[in-house]
Structure 1
Amino acid sequence: MTGQDGARGKRSSRPGREAVTGVATGRRRRGEQPVVPDTEFTSYYGKPIINAPVWRSPDIPGYLFLGGLAGASSLLGAGAQATGRPRMATTAKVGAFGAIGLSLVALVHDLGRPARFLNMLRVFKPTSPMNIGSWLLAGYGPLAGAAAASAVTGRLPRLGAAATAGSAVLGPAVAAYTGALISDTAVPAWHDGYRELPYLFAGSGATAAGGLVLLADPAGDTGPARNLAVFGVALELGSFKRMERRLGMVAEPYRTGRAGRYLRAGEVLSVAGAAGAVLGRRSRLGKVLSGAALLAASACTRWGIFHAGKASADDPRYTVVPQRRRLRN
């Protein structure tokens, strides 16, 4: 073998470094056989086109779930207090404080050091969902704690009422801002769903808050919690279905793999929990089972969305195909 033949052999045996990411653009005439096979969605050296999120499970999906539960529970607690339902108000306020505390623990654990969370409060940047979210949590957490402490001890009722009102004002933003947070990334399944994800997260939080009260206090007056849960299920499922239709092929990670299993389970549990809450309103056991199903449904939704985003970041076609379509249009 000559040196020239050896060089050609080496070139022919090299890995596919010249692989093209995309789709075949040539038109095929009727009856014509393809000469070149369809290209595959690969990238140089098999690396993803974008960096996948470094967020970990269960920290971040747990943070998303617990934040939504906390924000919606504060709103439910304020409504229960305003309508003369102190028992439900106490349950919701304690649940909100416990959820936001665990949410912050999960966030700090993922960050690695508490100082990293405090460093985000050194500036105020309205264009950054992460920065605004940090300020929301910093303001909401103490208010939720004061409202819960006053409700449990019965002391400082005026301060407790003010804290309840403040946490109720911030609660919807706490429940929904994480949807804006994850959509403010390059992850296709999250970024392209920027219109619906905040509504989906708000609905999921309402589902969880209603489920918490049904589970924790089935003997009490649970009418408002039941209504909030049914509203949350409708908003969550409606927003998700609309997002699926609008995203087209980018919605595939929401239907396949681990994410698909989580989300299908969430849909079944949501419908079952809402139906049980309505039909079993006079059954204590029915309320407990419905509450547990609604809480699990909200958690499944957050875990499913988290894993769908990671799956879409690992597959180049969810980045390339929408870009090429936008260029053609």
Structure 2
Amino acid sequence: MSTSDVTRAGVRGARPDRDAVTGSVHARPDRDAVTGSVHARPETHPAAGHARDGEFRSYHGRPVLNQVPWAARDIAGYLFLGGLAGSSSVLAAGAHLTGRRALARTAKVTALGAVTLSLAALVNDLGRPARFLNMLRVCKPTSPMSVGSWLLAGYAPLAGAAAVTELTGRLRAPGTAATVGAALAGPAVAAYTAPLICDTAVPAWHEGYREMPFVFVGSGAAAAAGAGLLAAPTGETAPARRAAVLGAVLETAALARMRRRFGPQLAATHRRGRAGPLLRAAEALTAAGALGAATLGGRSRWAAALSGAALLAGSAATRFGVFHAGLASAADPRYTIVPQRRRVRDRAGAGLS
């Protein structure tokens, strides 16, 4: 037990080699000239986190953020399947209205299958179906999860009706109306998962909020085109081939812009760890699929099928890569602290409060 005592005259009975020096000027916190935040002096508290001159250390190496609790199979799969479903409904409506019955049938069945699996993945992550139903008790426009729940609740029956009427050949007029309704909701279904993950504190998701919707819409369009190329007759795949090229260009351009805006440090989450191989594979597969669809997809059934499979695989790899990049950025505190310090310095340099 310590025998030192603090009196008005100072510390009595202190043992410098054993006791902390209470009230010492060296133990006082220092105020950061840029951020205004209070932190301990490094020489007094060597484990304290700080970011200066590109160097970063966190307290005992512990993460700043709570770790993402979502399972990759459920949530990354949910992101991929939602984009595939919504984009397939748009492609189905175009094919239906232009008389491409086989392509329309393929896209409608793809949309129904994808949204069903997407809901299954979401419910599996939530734990039980009642939790999804509980989210429909309120509608909160400022919550991407609330808006997404209502979108899925309205879109899934339309996609189901469009597919069932196409397969049975009955109720053509209601089936056409359902096809058009699903197509109108399709872009929102394909895009809303981007705000869903960007509305978090995870750096590699939150910092990409401007480009992520374009990445997801482009990826979804490429996936829907891939499904069409894989299953529909070559003579009807012209809309799918065009969608493949447009989706691949949009996805690639949006990802490149996102990484430039990230800066080299945060962009490293797309090159390292589990995200790196996935995103490199996604870029190669998407480019190869789009090129094959544009050049040989209209003449060779095998080329169309291979291009479609590459586009589907590339879209899935994009979603899983983005998901794992977010996990890596949440686990390493430098991806949270350093960008915050940089933004504060930029605001101070611009004369903003």
Structure 1 or 2: more helix by fraction? 1
* Cα distance in structure 2, aligned partners of 1:90 and 1:217: 9
Percentage identity across aligned positions? 60
Equivalent in the alignment of 1:190: 205
Other structure's SS at 2:274 match: helix
What is the 5 A alignment of 1:232-247? 232-247=247-262
Q: How many residues align?
A: 309
Q: 1:288 is matched with which residue: 258, 281, 305?
A: 305
Q: Distance in 1 between matches of 2:322 and 2:55?
A: 29
Q: Is residue 257 of structure 1 aligned with residue 285 of structure 2?
A: no
From 68, 71, 86, the equivalent of 2:101 is 86
1:19 aligns with 2:47: yes
Per the alignment, residue 141 of structure 2 pairs with: 126
Counterpart AA for 2:315: S
- Correspondence list, 1:34-73, <5 A: 40-43=56-59, 45-73=60-88
Higher strand share: 2
Shift of 1:220: 4.2
Letter in 1 for 2:163: A
Equivalent residue, structure 2, for 1:308: 325
Match of 2:288 in 1: 272
Give a deviation string over 1:270-307, Cα, whole Å, max 9, x none: 11001111121201110110000000000000000000
* C-alpha displacement of 1:46: 3.3
1:263 partner letter? L
Question: 1:117 aligns to what SS in structure 2?
Answer: helix
Instruction: Name the larger-Rg structure.
Output: 2
The code of the aligned residue for 1:152 comes to L
* Residue matched to 1:162: 177
Q: C-alpha separation between the residues in 2 aligned to 1:308 and 1:5? A: 47
Q: Which one-letter code corresponds to 1:100 in the other structure?
A: V
The equivalent residue for 1:210 is 225
Q: Which one of 132, 154, 173 corresponds to residue 188 of structure 2?
A: 173
SS at match of 2:67: coil
Contact kept in structure 2, 1:90 and 1:148, CA below 8 Å = yes
TM-superposed deviation, 1:218:
4.1
Residue 195 of structure 1: CA displacement? 0.2
**Letter of the aligned partner of 2:318 in structure 1?**
T
Structure 2 residue corresponding to 1:223, chosen from 220, 225, 238: 238
One-letter amino acid of the counterpart of residue 85, structure 2: A
- Alpha-carbon distance change, 49 to 85 in structure 1, aligned in 2, over 3 angstroms: same
1:59 and 1:106 in contact (8 A); partners too: yes
Q: 1:93 to 1:17 in 2, by over 3 A?
A: farther
Alpha-carbon RMSD:
1.8
Q: Whole-Å Cα distance in 2 between the matches of residues 218 and 158 of structure 1?
A: 25
- Please report how far the alpha carbon of residue 7 of structure 1 lies from its aligned counterpart in structure 2 after TM superposition: 2.8
Task: State the distance in 2 between where 1:22 and 1:251 align.
Answer: 21
Q: Is the 8 A contact 1:20 1:40 kept in 2?
A: no
Cα separation, 2, equivalents of 1:220 and 1:94:
19
Look up the SS of the partner of 2:18 in the other structure: helix
Preserved CA contact (<8 Å) 1:140 1:167: yes
